[in-house]
């Protein structure tokens, strides 16, 4: 039975004692809403225009983007990119007021005779709809709009994020009313490791044209970015790939500024070279695990993510073959004393506990609320 628990360290210790006393007794708990941990944006925070006005396409991002981490990253990450062009000190944020649901749905459709302005690839339809979708996956999943105002309340810029699929999740219904599902990796289908990004850059001019063509849209600069979503069940978000600035009155797109992101594995000579302090910190954690759990064969590794040479995310895995529930709880309790000091409390950290190929537990350092969230599977 899957149990989702938000645990304090005190609770973990209590569970350890209870597990020893009542091994056969199961406890149940209601499952709370999904945890969303946003990217830290340091000081690039915009004040919100008051009174708050909901977006014209309100709710569209939750309908079009399946991963909550992606939703948060798109919204906050786009603010972060915008701060490179408009200072948060003298600009206000406002939800998108120009792209409505009808226009958004029109743009996200497949190009066809019925939807000539659709931005997704044309699809040749046969009797096997699932296979058709697998052969021609959709690439553009969402277009997110934000508006930025000066201190007089006048819109002076529009920011857009074109969200693209890495994985395309398929759900179709046949003539008998049966639902069929599937999943494909977009770039593997099109046999090009960066096909989705190239495709988004190619249709970007159509997005600008559509926005400039809205009747009441002001003649202001547009900041356009491309975001690649993570997998549906990933616990970390995807990433922005590139962005560009289109001056007021312009529709053509010049050069793109690529977002510099790197990932290193731990342990590795490469990580030790680029960030010796973090590599040493993880070595200390690994040594401590072996010292405190001498009877267990524990092994620590991980993926370390950087953007523009800044540490953005740490994803760790502790392999613990053959451990009991009490030992799992003890490991989580131990990790709870270390997780927010691995790289400072401003860096998101996740720690997965794995028994061979089965995930047993997950701990996350929530940088926004400064708390530890734990999931026992």
pLDDT tens per residue, range 26-53: 433 333 333 333 333 344 578 888 888 8
| pLDDT band of 127, cuts 50, 70, 90 | confident
Give the E-state strand segments of the chain in sequence order. Answer: 3-4, 47-48, 92-95, 140-149, 155-164, 167-173, 179-185, 222-228, 239-246, 257-258, 261-266, 299-307, 310-319, 349-355, 358-366, 371-376
pLDDT for residue 233: 80
SS3 (DSSP) at 363: strand
CATH number of 3-33+262-376: 3.30.300.190
The mean pLDDT of the chain is 86
Average pLDDT on 110-126 reads 95
Which residue has 């603010």 as its token pair? 79
pLDDT for residue 36: 35
pLDDT for residue 44: 54
Most confident of 1-5, 74-78, 282-286: 282-286
82-88: long-range pairs with CB below 8 Å, 24+: 82/46, 82/146, 82/148, 82/157, 82/159, 82/223, 83/44, 83/46, 85/157, 85/221, 85/223, 85/245, 86/148, 86/156, 86/157, 88/43, 88/44, 88/45, 88/46, 88/47
pLDDT over 90 at 201, yes or no: yes
Verdict on whether the full-model pTM lies above 0.85: no
- pLDDT tens, position by position, 251-272: 899 899 998 778 788 999 989 9
pLDDT over 70 at 14, yes or no: no
pLDDT for residue 377: 77
pLDDT for residue 46: 87
pLDDT for residue 261: 74
- In the chain, what are the domain boundaries? 3-33+262-376, 47-259
| The listed CATH number (2.170.190.11, 3.10.570.10, 3.40.50.300, 3.40.30.10) that belongs to domain 47-259 | 3.10.570.10
pLDDT over 90 at 9, yes or no: no
pLDDT over 60 at 274, yes or no: yes
Please tell me the least confidently modeled range out of 28-37, 144-153, 166-175, 344-353. Answer: 28-37
108 — phi, psi (to 5°)?
-80, -10
Residues 6+ apart with CB under 8 A from 166: 185, 186, 187, 196, 228, 229, 230, 231, 238
SS3 (DSSP) at 68: helix
pLDDT over 90 at 327, yes or no: yes
pLDDT for residue 21: 38
DSSP assignment of 79-107, as one string? HHHHTTTS-TTS-EEEE--S--HHHHHHH
Is the N-terminal amide bond of 189 cis, ω within 30° of 0? no
pLDDT for residue 13: 38
pLDDT for residue 29: 37
Q: What distance in Å separates the CA atoms of residue 65 and residue 133, rounded to the nearest whole number?
A: 18
Q: What distance in Å separates the CA atoms of residue 31 and residue 2, rounded to the nearest whole number?
A: 9
Q: Which two three-digit tokens encode residue 214?
A: 């809205």
pLDDT for residue 364: 92
Task: Decide if 3-33+262-376 and 47-259 have a common fold.
Answer: no
Distances (CA, A) of 57 to 21, 97, 340: 54, 8, 37
| pLDDT band of 244, cuts 50, 70, 90 | very high
pLDDT over 90 at 239, yes or no: no
Partners of 317 in the beta sheet? Answer: 301, 352
pLDDT over 60 at 99, yes or no: yes
pLDDT for residue 31: 35
Q: What distance in Å separates the CA atoms of residue 275 and residue 351, rounded to the nearest whole number?
A: 20
pLDDT over 90 at 238, yes or no: no
Q: What distance in Å separates the CA atoms of residue 142 and residue 161, rounded to the nearest whole number?
A: 8
What 8-state DSSP symbol labels residue 308? Answer: T
pLDDT for residue 27: 39
**Where is pLDDT greater, at 9 or 134?**
134
pLDDT over 70 at 6, yes or no: no
**Where is pLDDT greater, at 374 or 18?**
374
pLDDT over 70 at 68, yes or no: yes
**Where is pLDDT greater, at 227 or 175?**
227
């Amino acid at each position: 039975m899957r149990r989702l628990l938000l645990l304090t360290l005190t609770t973990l210790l209590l569970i350890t004692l209870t597990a020893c006393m009542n091994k056969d007794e199961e406890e149940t708990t209601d499952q709370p809403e999904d945890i969303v941990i946003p990217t830290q944006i340091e000081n690039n925070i915009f004040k919100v225009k008051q009174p708050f006005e909901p977006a014209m396409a309100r709710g569209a991002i939750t309908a079009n983007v399946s991963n909550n981490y992606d939703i948060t990253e798109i919204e906050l990450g786009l603010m972060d990119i915008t701060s490179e062009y408009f200072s948060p000190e003298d600009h206000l944020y406002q939800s998108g007021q120009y792209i409505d649901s009808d226009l958004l749905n029109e743009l996200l459709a497949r190009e066809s005779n019925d939807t000539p302005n659709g931005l997704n690839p044309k699809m040749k339809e046969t009797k096997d709809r699932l296979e058709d979708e697998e052969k021609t996956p959709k690439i553009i999943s969402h277009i997110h709009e934000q508006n930025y105002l000066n201190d007089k309340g006048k819109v002076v810029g529009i920011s857009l994020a074109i969200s693209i699929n890495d994985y395309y999740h398929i759900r179709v219904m046949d003539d008998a009313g049966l639902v069929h599902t599937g999943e494909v990796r977009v770039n593997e289908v099109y046999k090009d490791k960066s096909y989705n990004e190239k495709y988004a850059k190619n249709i970007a001019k159509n997005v600008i044209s559509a926005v400039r063509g809205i009747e009441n849209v002001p003649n202001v600069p547009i900041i356009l970015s491309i975001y690649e979503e993570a997998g549906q069940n990933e616990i970390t978000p995807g990433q922005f790939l590139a962005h560009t600035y289109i001056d007021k009155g312009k529709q053509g797109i010049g050069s793109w500024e690529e977002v510099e992101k790197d990932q290193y594995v731990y342990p590795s000579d490469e990580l030790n070279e680029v960030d010796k302090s973090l590599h040493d910190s993880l070595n200390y954690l690994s040594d401590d695990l072996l010292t405190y759990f001498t009877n267990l064969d524990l092994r620590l590794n991980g993926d370390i993510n950087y953007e523009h040479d800044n540490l953005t995310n740490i994803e760790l895995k502790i392999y613990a073959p053959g451990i009991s529930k009490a030992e799992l709880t003890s490991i989580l309790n131990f990790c709870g004393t270390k997780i927010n000091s691995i790289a400072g409390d401003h860096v998101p950290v996740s720690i997965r506990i794995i028994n061979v190929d089965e995930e047993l537990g997950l701990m996350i350092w929530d940088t926004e609320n400064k708390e530890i969230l734990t999931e026992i599977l």
